[in-house]
Structure 1
Amino acid sequence: MLIRCNKELTKHTNVSFYQFKYSFRGSWLARFNNSLYFVVAAIFRIAKNKNSREKNMSKLKLSALHLAIGSSLLSGLAFNASAAEDASAEEVERIEVTGSRLKRTDLEGALPVTVISREDLVSSGDVSLGEVLRNFPGNSQGSFTPRSGSSAQSTADISLRGLGSNRTLVLVNGKRLPSDALGGGSGQNLSLVPMAMVEKVEILQDGASSIYGSEAIAGVVNIILRKDFEGLQVNAQMSSPSRDGGGDEKTFSLVGGVSNDKGNITFAIEHKEVTKLMANERADTSANVDGWVGYSTNSDPANWRVTDFFNDGTNVNGPWNPDSRCDSNLISETPRVRTHPVTGEVTNVTDRECRFAYADVASWLPATKTDSIFINSNYNITDEVSLFAQASVMKLQSKANYAAIPLVAGFGMTVAADNEYNPTFGTDNPQEVGVKWRPQALGTRDFIVDTLQLDFLTGFTWSSDFGTLDTYVQWNKQDSKDTSRNYVLTSAVFDLIDSGDINPFGPAEDVEAATAQIRADAFREARVDLFVAGATWAADLPIELPGGDMAYSVGWEFRSEDFAETYDALTTSGSIFGGTGGPSGGGRDARSAYFEVALPVLDELVITYAGRYDEFTLPKDASEYTQSLRARYQAADSVVLRASYSEGFRVPDIDTLLQTGGKSTDQAIDRQACNQVGDPSSPLCLAGEIEAERRPGAETQPERSKSYAMGVVWDATEELNMTFDYFDVEIIDQISFLSTQAVLDLEATGVDPKTFNVDVERDGQGEILKVVNGYANLPGFQTTGMDFNISHTLRTDDFGDFRTNLNGTYTMSFDSESAPGLGVFDNVGFVSTPDLRAALSFDWMLNDMNAHVGINYTAGYDARTPEDKYLNDVGSDVGTLPSFTTVDASIGYTLPTNTKLILGARNLTDEISEPNAFAFGNGVYDRGLGEILGRVVYLSVNQTF
Structure 2
Amino acid sequence: MTALAGGSIMLTAVPLMVQAEQQDKVERIEVTGSHIKRIDMEGASPITTITAADLEKSGFATVGDALRSSNLNAFGSWGGGSNNSWGSQATVQLKGGSAFHTLTLLDGKRMAKSPVLDGGAANINTIPMAAVERIEILTDGASAIYGTDAIAGVVNIILKKDYEGIQLDARMDRPTAEGGDSSNLSFTGGLDSDKGHLVLTLEHYESQKIKQSDRWYTRPFLLEGGDANDYQDWVNISPTGRVLTQGDAGGWVYSAPFSNADKSCADVYGEQFLGVLNDSDYPGDTLCAYDYSRAAAISVGQKRNNTLIHYTYELSDDIELTARAFWAANETMDVSAPVPAAISIPNGLPAYTTAEGLDLVELVADPDAGMNFRFDTAGNRVAEHHDNIFDYLLALNGTTDYLSWDFSVNYNQYSNFTWGTGYQLKGATTDLIGRWDSDSNSFVGWDPRDPHSPMPQGATANYDKRMNATYLDVSGGASFDLFELPGGISGMYLGAAYREESLDSKVTALAEAGQIIGGNGGSGGEGERDVKAAYFELVLPLLDKLELNLAGRYDDYSDFGGTFNPQVSVKYNVLDPLLLRASWGNGFRAPTLSDLYQGTSEGFGYITNYLNCYTEGEDIDTCGRRDYAPTRTGGNEALQPEESESYNFGLVWDITDQINISVDYWSLETSNLIETLDPDEIVKTQAKLWQAADALGVARPEVGSVYAGASLEQRGNGRIDNVVSRKVNVGLSEREGMDVSMHASWDTQVGELKAGLSWSHYFKYKSTYVDSGVRILGDNIAGREGSPDDRANVSLDYLVGNHSLSYFGNYISAQTSWDLIEGSWDPDAGQTEDEGRLFEIDSVFYHNLTYTYSLPWNDSLSIGVTNLTDEEPSFKYDGTFDGDLYDIRGRTYWASFRQAF
Same fold at TM > 0.5? yes
Contact 1:421 1:505 in 2 (8 A): no
Contact 1:560 1:587 in 2 (8 A): yes
What is the CA distance between 1:440 and its match in structure 2?
Answer: 1.1
Taking the TM superposition and a 5 Å limit, the aligned residue runs for 1:3-152 are 57=16, 90-152=24-86
Range with bigger deviation, 234-243 or 694-703: 694-703
Change (3 A) 1:175 1:475: same
Residue 408 of structure 1: SS of its match in structure 2? strand
1:318 aligns with 2:253: yes
Aligned to 1:706, which of 645, 650, 667? 645
Residue 595 of structure 2: SS of its match in structure 1? helix
Aligned to 1:268, which of 201, 214, 217? 201
1:511 aligns with 2:454: yes
Match of 2:871 in 1: 911
Cα distance in 2 for residues equivalent to 1:898 and 1:770: 63
Overall identity of the aligned pairs, in % = 29
Aligned to 1:554, which of 482, 488, 494? 494
What is the CA distance between 1:663 and its match in structure 2?
Answer: 2.1
Match of 1:212 in 2: 146
Higher strand share: 2
Match of 2:851 in 1: 891
Residues 744-796 of structure 1: per-residue CA shift (max 9 Å, x gap): 68779999964344344334554221122332212401100100011111112
Cα distance in 2 for residues equivalent to 1:899 and 1:546: 53
Cα distance in 1 for residues equivalent to 2:471 and 2:491: 32
Contact 1:843 1:851 in 2 (8 A): yes
Change (3 A) 1:671 1:573: closer
Change (3 A) 1:935 1:904: same
Contact 2:115 2:467 in 1 (8 A): yes
Contact 1:322 1:331 in 2 (8 A): no
1:367 is aligned with what amino acid? G
1:851 is aligned with what amino acid? L
Cα distance in 2 for residues equivalent to 1:174 and 1:387: 16
Aligned to 1:611, which of 552, 559, 568? 552
What is the CA distance between 1:330 and its match in structure 2?
Answer: 1.6
Residues 618-665 of structure 1: per-residue CA shift (max 9 Å, x gap): 23xx21000000000010111000000010001110011011212232
Residues 153-186 of structure 1: per-residue CA shift (max 9 Å, x gap): 0111110001111000000000000110212212
Cα distance in 1 for residues equivalent to 2:159 and 2:476: 20
Range with bigger deviation, 400-409 or 217-226: 400-409
Match of 1:595 in 2: 536
Taking the TM superposition and a 5 Å limit, the aligned residue runs for 1:524-603 are 524-541=465-482, 543-579=483-519, 581=522, 584-603=525-544
Cα distance in 1 for residues equivalent to 2:688 and 2:870: 39
Cα distance in 2 for residues equivalent to 1:674 and 1:909: 46
Residue 933 of structure 1: SS of its match in structure 2? coil
What is the CA distance between 1:110 and its match in structure 2?
Answer: 0.5
Higher relative contact order (CA 8 A, sep 6+): 1
What is the CA distance between 1:322 and its match in structure 2?
Answer: 4.7
Cα distance in 1 for residues equivalent to 2:466 and 2:751: 55
Aligned to 1:366, which of 300, 321, 332? 300
1:327 aligns with 2:327: no
Cα distance in 2 for residues equivalent to 1:753 and 1:895: 70
Contact 1:733 1:778 in 2 (8 A): yes
Match of 1:815 in 2: 766
1:814 is aligned with what amino acid? Y
Residues 508-556 of structure 1: per-residue CA shift (max 9 Å, x gap): x5334x1x32111111100012211110212222x10000000111111
Cα distance in 1 for residues equivalent to 2:684 and 2:837: 19
Match of 1:444 in 2: 380
Match of 1:416 in 2: 347
Match of 1:799 in 2: 750
What is the CA distance between 1:582 and its match in structure 2?
Answer: 5.2
1:227 is aligned with what amino acid? K
Residues 258-295 of structure 1: per-residue CA shift (max 9 Å, x gap): 11221101010000000010000001011224432121
Aligned to 1:930, which of 868, 886, 895? 886
Residues 431-452 of structure 1: per-residue CA shift (max 9 Å, x gap): 5623211121100111110011
Residues 319-367 of structure 1: per-residue CA shift (max 9 Å, x gap): 4445336538623323457xxxxxxxxxxx4221211101111111000
Number of aligned positions between the proteins: 833
2:789 is aligned with what amino acid? D
Cα distance in 2 for residues equivalent to 1:426 and 1:269: 62
Cα distance in 2 for residues equivalent to 1:712 and 1:696: 43
Residue 900 of structure 1: SS of its match in structure 2? strand
Residues 592-621 of structure 1: per-residue CA shift (max 9 Å, x gap): 1100000000001000000000011123xx
What is the CA distance between 1:200 and its match in structure 2?
Answer: 0.2
Match of 1:6 in 2: none
What is the CA distance between 1:842 and its match in structure 2?
Answer: 0.7
Match of 2:828 in 1: none
Contact 1:489 1:576 in 2 (8 A): yes
Match of 1:298 in 2: 240
1:552 is aligned with what amino acid? M
Match of 2:635 in 1: 696
Contact 1:917 1:925 in 2 (8 A): no
Range with bigger deviation, 757-766 or 133-142: 757-766
What is the CA distance between 1:490 and its match in structure 2?
Answer: 2.2
1:510 is aligned with what amino acid? S
What is the CA distance between 1:425 and its match in structure 2?
Answer: 9.6
What is the CA distance between 1:667 and its match in structure 2?
Answer: 5.4
Change (3 A) 1:684 1:442: farther
1:778 is aligned with what amino acid? V
Cα distance in 1 for residues equivalent to 2:689 and 2:858: 67
Residue 764 of structure 2: SS of its match in structure 1? strand
Match of 1:254 in 2: 187
Match of 1:841 in 2: 795
Change (3 A) 1:677 1:251: farther
Range with bigger deviation, 215-224 or 799-808: 799-808
Contact 2:141 2:152 in 1 (8 A): yes
Residue 646 of structure 2: SS of its match in structure 1? strand
Cα distance in 2 for residues equivalent to 1:626 and 1:428: 64
Match of 1:457 in 2: 393
Taking the TM superposition and a 5 Å limit, the aligned residue runs for 1:347-386 are 349-386=283-320
What is the CA distance between 1:847 and its match in structure 2?
Answer: 2.3
1:192 is aligned with what amino acid? T
1:781 aligns with 2:733: yes
Contact 1:289 1:330 in 2 (8 A): no
Cα distance in 2 for residues equivalent to 1:813 and 1:199: 35
Match of 1:23 in 2: none
Residue 34 of structure 2: SS of its match in structure 1? coil
Match of 2:271 in 1: none
1:824 is aligned with what amino acid? G
Q: Identify unmatched segments of 5+ residues in structure 2.
A: 1-6, 224-232, 267-273, 436-443, 691-701, 825-831
Cα distance in 2 for residues equivalent to 1:715 and 1:224: 26
1:853 aligns with 2:790: no
Cα distance in 2 for residues equivalent to 1:403 and 1:728: 43
Aligned to 2:96, which of 158, 162, 173? 162
1:452 is aligned with what amino acid? N
Range with bigger deviation, 322-331 or 213-222: 322-331
Cα distance in 2 for residues equivalent to 1:907 and 1:623: 48
Change (3 A) 1:898 1:651: same
Residue 234 of structure 2: SS of its match in structure 1? coil
Residue 120 of structure 1: SS of its match in structure 2? helix
Cα distance in 1 for residues equivalent to 2:518 and 2:534: 46
Contact 1:370 1:397 in 2 (8 A): yes
Cα distance in 2 for residues equivalent to 1:642 and 1:849: 39
Contact 1:370 1:396 in 2 (8 A): yes
Residues 177-201 of structure 1: per-residue CA shift (max 9 Å, x gap): 0110212212111111111101000
Match of 2:898 in 1: 942
Match of 1:645 in 2: 584
1:783 is aligned with what amino acid? R
2:447 is aligned with what amino acid? N
Residue 113 of structure 2: SS of its match in structure 1? coil
Change (3 A) 1:271 1:428: closer
